[in-house]
Amino acid sequence: MSKKALITGGCGFIGRHVTEELLAHGYSVAVLDSLVEQVHGDTPPARDHRIEYHFGDIRDPQSVQEALKGADLVVHLASEVGVGQSMYEIARYVGVNDLGTAVLLECLIDRPVERLVMASSMSVYGEGLYETTDGERFGQAKRRREQLQSGRWDPVDADGRPLKPIATDEEKPVELASIYALTKYAQERAVLIFGEAYPVETVALRLFNVFGPGQALSNPYTGVLANFASRLANGEPPLIFEDGGQKRDFVHVRDVARAFRLALESKSAVGQVVNIGSGNAYTIRQVAELTADAMGMPEVQPEILGKMRSGDIRHCFADISKAHDLLGFEPLHRLEEAVGEFTEWVRETGAVDNAARMRRQLEERGLVS
């Protein structure tokens, strides 16, 4: 008899791919989703006869209890996502992410499952891991507002010496630079603490920048690749904060979906926090140029704003050796090869460009300078 997995946020970008991954490997699937307009638009998602649907808020105990009926496993994805927006819609982000997780955990006391795997975020690291000029690990890099306002983007050590960004592993101390990061860390710790206290195995996956077909193209607060493609599809250049030299790790959503399945199945993952990324670093300018090339618009150069955005960090890309060791995880879809498929999907789908509105909303609140 197949196991049944409940996926909270199962109608979202990552949720739909996790659903397909689990169905393809013999699981039965239920989803719980509130269909937030910012993510889903005003058109209800198409129904799949293989899936048991529950539409309700993760903060509503009755909705969660109903969705949990018969579930053996839970993948917890329901979350508000967006560093910039979290800096002014604070109650919304804390409410959905932290209170929503608390409601889920309380429901699991009465309706325990075998395992709960939750989506955490690379944002909990703040700045990624660095190396000093002496070759030592440096995990406490911070950027001060006055430094950023003068256009000095890269962190330095206590003596003002340059730091070299290196792959960030799970041993790097957290440094919460945004309300979104704070909520994800609270979710992560709550889930793992719950797993120590109750007979529910728990795992937290720290996701790096996820991309692929199915992203919310109208939501400017999440998915830099989607933002760039949406701008280009509407004849506008990608908008880049700072100087475009900041480095990130981009991991394909199908690789992420596979990581969630592996985390449901691997005994060695229980009680662990695990990075899920590609293990590669790309500058944001490089990503903008790759996207423009893939869309047949290589002549369109990104608009470099030279401004800082509150809550942003400079460099963070993943060390995925723990995912390899505990999950047997290996990314299969590199950005360079997969960006063409993604941009083709953008062209076919159509995209609303809301990047300028996002920038205006942040500027009005003094979060860009």
The span from the CA of 368 to the CA of 360, in Å, is: 9
Please give the positions annotated as active site: 180
Contact 33, 55 (CB under 8 A): yes
Tokens of 91: 């109650």
The span from the CA of 326 to the CA of 263, in Å, is: 9
The span from the CA of 329 to the CA of 321, in Å, is: 9
The span from the CA of 74 to the CA of 263, in Å, is: 11
CA 296 to chain CA centroid, nearest Å: 28
Q: How far is CA 80 from CA 94, 100, 231, 260, in A?
A: 9, 10, 23, 19
The span from the CA of 239 to the CA of 313, in Å, is: 17
